[in-house]
Amino acid sequence: MRTIAVINQKGGVGKTTTTANLAHAFAIKGHSVTGIDMDPQGHLAAHWGCYRRDANGVDQVLLGEKTIPQVAISARERLHLVPAGEGLKEIERGKGDDLLADRLKEALSLVANTQDFTFIDCPPASGLLIDYVLSAADEVIIPVAADYLALRGLSDIIETVRKFEQQFEKTFTYWVVVTRFHTRRKLSWEVRDKLLEYFPDNMLATSIREATVLAECPSFGKTAFEYKGANFGAYDYASLARDLLNGECYRGQE
């Protein structure tokens, strides 16, 4: 099982959109996939149309009260959702406890034989929840919106990842994904080329274009694959899934 955390402390960069659509892309391809909603706001659940206020969730897994199969719900064929749960907010505000990180890791190891991918949608913050996630994950996807503030804060994320690598003596595979790419905006192309200077070997080949379908589908509880036939959003996320399977990186404009 590949356990992939989707992180960026900025909001609105496409973390949830990427988790929701990429996870669904893999499920459609025939893989068994779990999405963990690590954002107390429950956006992943809402995006998949499965939000319930009183749902059991990853909060109980962190507290050692439940296992992942006990709280996971079926979101689509081959696609499971572990909701955030009402207690996650409180855990986020807590004092921090290594035991919680160990429990998440342990809970994930128990489902490793049954799942091909677990995607963890993270909150727009760099607090305790991210620490717990990074203790348990082995890969990181960093969605970066192709706008002029994109590069700000990126070094913080890389620093956090490095800190965890030292602390846990492991190496993350990390991927930068360009999101909200406006093909007709010069700035988008410039930002992408700038990112390539920083991450020559870590940018996935596909950039996710700004697409109305991606902005609209969460309010219907759908992914791009369930929306009005062929569309850019579905095309780009299917292509990104292939990149992630093959480690296909962006090498600059042809």
Q: Give the binding range for ligand ADP (CB under 6 A) out of 5-13, 70-78, 164-172, 239-247.
A: 5-13
Considering the rule CB under 6 A, would residue 149 count as an interface residue with ligand ADP? no
Q: Give the binding range for ligand ADP (CB under 6 A) out of 51-59, 158-166, 212-220, 221-229.
A: 212-220
HEC assignment per residue over the chain? CEEEEECCCCCCCCHHHHHHHHHHHHHHCCCCEEEEECCCCCHHHHHCCCCCCCCCCHHHHHCCCCCHHHHCEEEECCEEEECCCCCHHHHHHCCCCHHHHHHHHHHHHHHCCCCCEEEEECCCCCCHHHHHHHHHCCEEEEEEECCCCCCCCHHHHHHHHHHHHHHHCCCCEEEEEEECECCCCHHHHHHHHHHHHHCCCCEECCCCECCHHHHHHHHHCCCHHHCCCCCHHHHHHHHHHHHHHHCCECCCCC
Q: How far is the CB of 193 from Mg ion (least distance, A)?
A: 27
Q: How far is the CB of 15 from Mg ion (least distance, A)?
A: 5
Q: How far is the CB of 70 from ligand ADP (least distance, A)?
A: 26
For ligand ADP, the binding residue among 11, 64, 69, 94 (CB under 6 A) is 11
The count of chain residues that interact with Mg ion, using the rule CB under 5 A, is 3
Q: Which residues bind ligand ADP (CB under 6 A)?
A: 11-17, 43, 124, 179-180, 208, 210-211, 214-215, 218
